[in-house]
Structure 1
Amino acid sequence: MQINDDKKIRLMYRIEPGCLGPKGAEHIEDFCRFANKHIKSPFYGQFVFLPRYDKTIDERQYSVNSRNLSLAQARAYLKHFDINIEEFEEQLDELLTKAIDLYFKR
């Protein structure tokens, strides 16, 4: 199945430096570049990993064609592909955990 880029759901995932350990602040920028390069986005979406320095901003932000989606709208979009948003986010968290391990082993 082919989807135009402007129809893909985009997940901006803000990663807290603390996820990378006590010296995470020293690694977060480089890790986000690593994650953007090594974590493959699904055919229906695009992942963008950024540092999360401001905890008042949501950790995850979904959008389509530069329009932010509410959680209910993101859930409905993913449901169109028979994807449960909670399972989707859990799988992505697991991918991030593996990416952190790979990042520090390289």
Structure 2
Amino acid sequence: MSITLPLPQDKKITFTCRVEAGCLGPDGQLHVKAFCQHAEKEIAFFDTGVIQWRLVPRHDKSEEEIQYSIASKILTREQAARYFSLLDRDIEDIENFFHGFLVRLINEYLGHE
């Protein structure tokens, strides 16, 4: 099966990361919303034919830190992995890239780099 990229918007997978305020230091609650907006702009250009990136503050600990969805339908990690594999992507590679990217941005924000 041949899949043409970029995917239409309603077929792209939305990668939502809920960012904990505490990762931004003791006054992180004051900055987490602005940080998420900044980080979302920074990552917006990575694999745009397949992924829509969404970073939001994590206010509810019962919600997953990472969530995948397509057209507002929430996917399990396993479903997302299968979808990515159809597109010749590996979910582990995507998550590892994202976590490295997020750590770098947090360190820059905190002045560690």
Q: TM-score, normalization: structure 2?
A: 0.84
1:63 pairs with one of 62, 69, 74: 69
1:26 pairs with one of 1, 26, 30: 30
Matched with 2:89 is: 83
What fraction of aligned residue pairs are identical, expressed as a percent? 37
Contact 1:39/1:99, CA 8 A, preserved across alignment = no
**1:2-51 deviation per Cα after TM superposition (whole angstroms, max 9, x unaligned):** 21111000011100111112221121011011112111241201010000
Greater mean alpha carbon deviation, residues 74-83 or residues 49-58: 74-83
Distance 1:36 1:88 in 2: 15
**1:75-105 deviation per Cα after TM superposition (whole angstroms, max 9, x unaligned):** 1011112222122111101111122233345
| Gapped regions of structure 2 (runs ≥ 5) | none
1:39 aligns with 2:43: yes
Say what the alpha-carbon RMSD is for the aligned residues: 1.4
- The secondary structure found in structure 2 opposite 1:56 is coil
Q: Following superposition, which runs of at least 4 residues in structure 1 exceed 4 angstroms of deviation?
A: none
How many residue pairs align between the two structures?
105
| Gapped regions of structure 1 (runs ≥ 5) | none
